[in-house]
Amino acid sequence: MFLGLALALAQIKLFQLPNGGSVSIGVFPIMVLGARRGPGSGVVVGMLLGLLSAALRPYVVHPLQFILDYPLAFGCLGLAGLWSWSSGVRAAAATFLANLFRLSCHVSAGVLAGGTYFPDSRMTTPELAMASLLYNLGHMLPETVICAALAIILSKQQPALVSRQR
């Protein structure tokens, strides 16, 4: 159910970047699942979301980039369940931390893709990393802020929805 909701919400985009990445609330259900059922469930369903996202709109230049950008990055969203969402601050922090892990996957994939996609480029690895960081922040920062706001609202208005359930 969380996977289907995530896929449906991911189709409603505020904007889309040309080389992958968009702003939507499609990732939020995965973080809620992590909060409700634990990080293990969240990571597995997040990885499935990543694989389905790759099937729907692939952007792949290297096999390792695919793994980093899709199953690993989206799996990181489930890590929001490592922390209790017992308050708005904790829910927002969990959302930011999970997305920080996701960002590290996307930035690493961007460095790898940049080196593969532009083999004649004179960019050094630190320059590729900075370019990848800035590009990915372009979609991930607004998405993270929106999801953190939703996490705060949900934890305050409907705490039973984000309480750990076994």
Residues 124-144 pLDDT 10s: 888 889 989 999 999 999 999
- Parent domain of 113: 23-162
Residues 77-132 pLDDT 10s: 999 999 999 999 999 999 999 999 999 999 999 998 887 666 667 778 888 899 89
Residue 6 in domain: no
**pLDDT value of position 119:** 63
Look up residue 32 and give its amino acid: V
Residue 4 in domain: no
Helices (H), 57-87: 63-67, 73-75
Residue 2 in domain: no
Q: Are 80 and 35 in contact (CB under 8 A)?
A: yes
d(CA 32, CA 72): 18
Residue 71 in domain: yes
In this structure, what CATH number is given to the domain that contains residue 136?
A: 1.10.1760.20
Looking at the structure of the chain, the number of domains it has is 1
Mode of pairing for the β-strands spanning 22-23 and 15-16:
antiparallel
Residue 15 in domain: no
Mean pLDDT value across residues 34-39: 96
